[in-house]
A and B are shown apart, each in its own frame.
Chain A
Amino acid sequence: MTPLSSFYSPLLKSVGLAAMLALLFMLYIGLWRDPSHIPSAQIGHMAQTFNLSKLSDDNFIALEDYKGKWVMLNFWASWCGACRTEHATLVQAGKDFANTPNIALIGINYKDQKEKALRFLKRLGAFPYPSGQDPRGRTGIDYGVYGLPETYFINPEGKIFFRHVGAIKLEQIKKAFAPALKGAS
């Protein structure tokens, strides 16, 4: 054993091997993740207020109108393909929760034109709940929207507790509203 080879002690070797295996494992996990998915930075924080003109008439819709309720906020647009996929689900959810007083669903038409949005609703069926217009996308930026569709869930205290990116399913909406339904009954 020369002095030089004693440099590479068993400790160094095992640490090296362990680090290598950890790296490979991490890369494996990374394969199944979507690198472009950004988790919401506002979970647990107060939702930003908004006051937008409604899509259906000339009135306004504001978040504080729904203070004390469980709110689902869905960002959609006529140019968004995946929004078509979830449209039927949202309409159904709107009907299902129409008679639950402490649950409210709101749509936000993001970076869209009124005529195109209305045409979209005419073709696919109107939402049984109101939508506000966000033509510049400012409200979207306030919520940290980076792609459509995105759905936010707000509790009666006004804090965001869940965000879903992509087309949402009915079970996911029901699961998010589970505490609301428990309280209601």
Chain B
Amino acid sequence: MNGNPIEFGLCASVLALGCAIFAVFFAFSSLKLNRPALMVSARQAMYMMPLLITFSCFTIIWSFVNLDFSVAYVVQNSNSKLPMIYRLSALWGAHEGSLMLWLWFLVIYSALATYIHRFSHPQSMPYIIITLALLQIGFLVFILFLSSPFTELVPPPLEGRELNPLLQDPGLIFHPPLLYLGYVGFSVPYAFAIAALIRGQADGEWAKATRKWTLFAWIALTSGILLGGYWAYYELGWGGYWAWDAVENASLMPWFTGTAFLHSILVLERRGLFATWNIFLVLVTFCLSLLGTFLVRSGVLTSVHAFATDPSRGVYILGFLSLVMIVSFGLLVFRSNRLYTPPQQQSFLSRESILLLNNIFLLCAAGTVFLGTLYPLIAEVITGAKVTVAAPYFNSVVLPFMIIVIFLMGIGPVIPWYNARRQASAYLLRKQFLYPVLCSLLFIAVGIGFGIRDMIGLFALSAVGFSLCSTLLDIFKDIKNRAQIEQTGKTVPRSYLKSFWHLLTWNRRRYGAMIVHIGVLIAALGMIASGTLNQVNTVTMAPGDRFQSGAYVLTFKGIEGVKGPNYSARRASFLISQQGHPLDIITAERRSYPRGNMVTTEAGIRSGFFEDLYIVLGQETKNDKAIIRFYYNPLINWIWFGWMILVAGSLLAFSQGRSQKVVFTNDGRVSEGALSP
């Protein structure tokens, strides 16, 4: 003990463990002794946790900033030449620290949930606190005993190791935290679900309470995944953004089930149906988040992302995961019959049924990704054979499911909820879907015109065309209806604009969702175009040689050697011109990091609205030539634009309070609701 800040961090974490145990103890006593007053102590313990863990994380970051090489974790992940910004984010650069990040977010979410719902769910709160605190204990025990970032080295070495050059990038600063905000964010709906199972009550009220937590976690997870794709695109230098790698799949699976939950929760809220199914989806989503954590760290699957492998750590995480799964699904199996659902009449042509179809296909997609990711392991355990399941499989099977979901995106919002007195008739729907169907055919024609011959690509285009038209028509119809109601007598365009604004602000959930759907469709267009119309060409060039990519001519200008803070590089320059007019100079590099003994490529990317020109420098040959790989990616930036729109829409939907107009209760009655947040 020599007064290192890191030791205080360790103390704080040990205290936090005690705190979490206290929380469980008090919440449990409050239940057993039927003394709600004990919950005050439990809540206070939950509020203490973020303070302690934030302090612990702070001491780790402080050790990085000050290059305190007596801390083993600092030695393994930084050195004196590492730029400051990467020292700040090195906390989550490796296994031990990323677990601390998980825990940090968990305690913050838990405290927030405890605070926000401190009055609104008195009967569920003890169970929620117990669940969250037990999760915290699980992680703390793992961190303190098996993966401590607090271990010290005596005597401290003089220099640290090099952080993996691929991770020395702005993307690393944001991608893991966003992703973890998503994963960990599902722990609150999970805790609510466990409480609901134990109490035997999951209804519209439960749905409303968990809605915002789920939406926030979903926004974070979606953004984390897309940011990861964006980062892979410009950093890894293979011209793509998604490789169906095991760890990527591990983040996609909870995304599918989380999206399914986000949609099925609407049915629970609106009509009180599918209580058990909703709970099942929450449990599955959270367990998949934990499974993802397991897969990354255990060495069970090969992946470019995987952290250093260690079976003993894998055993603990697997044990923890098993416990969570057995308890969760055990509860579900034995208590689901308590979740009373009143008998309801239903029809095929209703929003409920479309939402259920949405769930089916999203789950099929999730299940396929699951099967494909684990198949090599299953095959090896059963037959001993080594097999490869890679992008071609996933693209062939998962994409069609996702495309069907996109079709449903254009059908669901248009079809009304079930109403016995006024059933949706096929005739009316035929009218409504005429234009979308025409639009989908138009999109197919345009795709063929651009040269797309891939069946899945054309199928996807038709879905996007259909849903885009349907969504836009729907919004326009609402604006028109609203404008007619207002009848302000003003000129038509202004009235429309005013109506649109009114709709946006008054019914933020619905229009937020429409905007999210539009964002998804634009991103889908980007994926379709860059997936079917992209070109990759490998050429050996001498200085002065030119290559034509699309409408652009790229002239190779030559290679020079450059030096960076911790690397030396060969940099190639290209002049990009269009129809003889020079536009820009793009450079591509091959970097050597002597300390890490690694070579990375920095692609030269020219991003435009309609396409990306992406250049990768390969090896140089003996006669002053170089092997260059050119990628032409049409519409790839629409993926990121779509993502922005999606986030905007989600935030809009998130901003709506609980009930502003009317509340629709389980049996379809209309009543006024309290204007609570």
For chain A residues 122-153, which have a beta carbon within 8 Å of chain B?
none
User: B640 at the A/B interface (Cβ < 8 Å)?
Assistant: no
Which of A21-29, A109-117, A159-167 forms part of the interface with chain B? A21-29
> Does more than half of chain B's interface fall in helix, strand or loop, or is it mixed?
helix
Asked whether B294 lies within 8 Å of A27 as measured between CB atoms, the reply is: yes
Asked whether A30 lies within 8 Å of B311 as measured between CB atoms, the reply is: no
Q: Report the minimal beta-carbon distance from A178 to chain B, rounded to whole angstroms.
A: 22
Q: Report the minimal beta-carbon distance from A164 to chain B, rounded to whole angstroms.
A: 16
Known contacts: A24-B322, A27-B318, A29-B381. The answer to whether A5 contacts B300 by CB under 8 A is no
Which of A31-39, A66-74, A83-91 forms part of the interface with chain B? A31-39
Asked whether A31 lies within 8 Å of B325 as measured between CB atoms, the reply is: no
Q: Report the minimal beta-carbon distance from B290 to chain A, rounded to whole angstroms.
A: 12
For chain B residues 285-344, which have a beta carbon within 8 Å of chain A?
294, 298-302, 311, 314-315, 318, 321-322, 325-326, 329-330, 333, 336-337, 339-343
Asked whether B311 lies within 8 Å of A31 as measured between CB atoms, the reply is: yes
Known contacts: A3-B343, A26-B381, A28-B318. The answer to whether A35 contacts B333 by CB under 8 A is no
Asked whether B378 lies within 8 Å of A26 as measured between CB atoms, the reply is: yes
A3 to B385, CA, bound (A): 46
Q: Report the minimal beta-carbon distance from B586 to chain A, rounded to whole angstroms.
A: 35
Asked whether B336 lies within 8 Å of A31 as measured between CB atoms, the reply is: no
User: A13 at the A/B interface (Cβ < 8 Å)?
Assistant: yes
Nearest opposing residue in chain A for B311, CB measure: A31
Q: Report the minimal beta-carbon distance from B322 to chain A, rounded to whole angstroms.
A: 5
Asked whether A5 lies within 8 Å of B341 as measured between CB atoms, the reply is: yes
User: A17 at the A/B interface (Cβ < 8 Å)?
Assistant: yes
A32 to B330, CA, bound (A): 27
The one of B333, B336, B381, B385 in contact with A39, judged by C-beta atoms closer than 8 angstroms, is B385
Contacts of B302 in A (CB 8 A): 35-36
Nearest opposing residue in chain B for A33, CB measure: B380
- Report the interface size for chain A: residues with CB under 8 A from the other chain: 25
Asked whether A30 lies within 8 Å of B377 as measured between CB atoms, the reply is: yes
The one of B300, B333, B377 in contact with A13, judged by C-beta atoms closer than 8 angstroms, is B333
Q: Report the minimal beta-carbon distance from A96 to chain B, rounded to whole angstroms.
A: 31
Q: Report the minimal beta-carbon distance from A3 to chain B, rounded to whole angstroms.
A: 6
A100-118 near B? 1/0 per residue, CB < 8 Å: 0000000000000000000
A36 to B377, CA, bound (A): 11
A28 to B343, CA, bound (A): 43
Nearest opposing residue in chain A for B341, CB measure: A4
Contacts of B341 in A (CB 8 A): 2, 4-5
Contacts of A1 in B (CB 8 A): 337
The one of B294, B322, B329 in contact with A16, judged by C-beta atoms closer than 8 angstroms, is B329
Nearest opposing residue in chain B for A13, CB measure: B333
User: B489 at the A/B interface (Cβ < 8 Å)?
Assistant: no
User: B161 at the A/B interface (Cβ < 8 Å)?
Assistant: no
Asked whether A2 lies within 8 Å of B325 as measured between CB atoms, the reply is: no
Asked whether A30 lies within 8 Å of B384 as measured between CB atoms, the reply is: no
The one of B273, B299, B333, B378 in contact with A31, judged by C-beta atoms closer than 8 angstroms, is B299
Known contacts: A31-B299, A39-B384. The answer to whether A2 contacts B318 by CB under 8 A is no
User: A20 at the A/B interface (Cβ < 8 Å)?
Assistant: yes
Contacts of A20 in B (CB 8 A): 325-326, 329
A112 to B284, CA, bound (A): 52
The one of A24, A35, A36 in contact with B325, judged by C-beta atoms closer than 8 angstroms, is A24
Q: Report the minimal beta-carbon distance from A7 to chain B, rounded to whole angstroms.
A: 8
The one of B315, B333, B339, B384 in contact with A5, judged by C-beta atoms closer than 8 angstroms, is B339
Known contacts: A4-B341, A8-B276. The answer to whether A31 contacts B385 by CB under 8 A is no
Q: Report the minimal beta-carbon distance from A40 to chain B, rounded to whole angstroms.
A: 10
Q: Report the minimal beta-carbon distance from B399 to chain A, rounded to whole angstroms.
A: 25
The one of A17, A23, A26, A39 in contact with B386, judged by C-beta atoms closer than 8 angstroms, is A39
Nearest opposing residue in chain A for B376, CB measure: A35
Nearest opposing residue in chain B for A21, CB measure: B326
Contacts of B273 in A (CB 8 A): 4
Asked whether B329 lies within 8 Å of A24 as measured between CB atoms, the reply is: no
A106 to B374, CA, bound (A): 39
A128 to B230, CA, bound (A): 56
Asked whether A5 lies within 8 Å of B329 as measured between CB atoms, the reply is: no
Asked whether A30 lies within 8 Å of B385 as measured between CB atoms, the reply is: no
A32 to B273, CA, bound (A): 44
Asked whether B336 lies within 8 Å of A8 as measured between CB atoms, the reply is: yes
The one of B311, B326, B386 in contact with A32, judged by C-beta atoms closer than 8 angstroms, is B311
6 contacts between A and B (CB under 8 A): A3-B343, A4-B341, A5-B336, A5-B341, A16-B333, A30-B298
The 4 A-B pairs with the shortest beta carbon distances in the complex, nearest first, are: A30-B300, A35-B302, A31-B314, A13-B333
Which residues of chain A have a CB within 8 Å of any CB of chain B? 1-5, 8, 13, 16-17, 20, 23-24, 26-33, 35-39
Q: A13-B333, A20-B329 are in contact. List 15 more A-B contacts (CB 8 A).
A: A1-B337, A2-B342, A3-B343, A8-B336, A8-B337, A17-B330, A17-B333, A24-B322, A26-B378, A28-B315, A30-B380, A31-B298, A31-B314, A35-B300, A35-B376
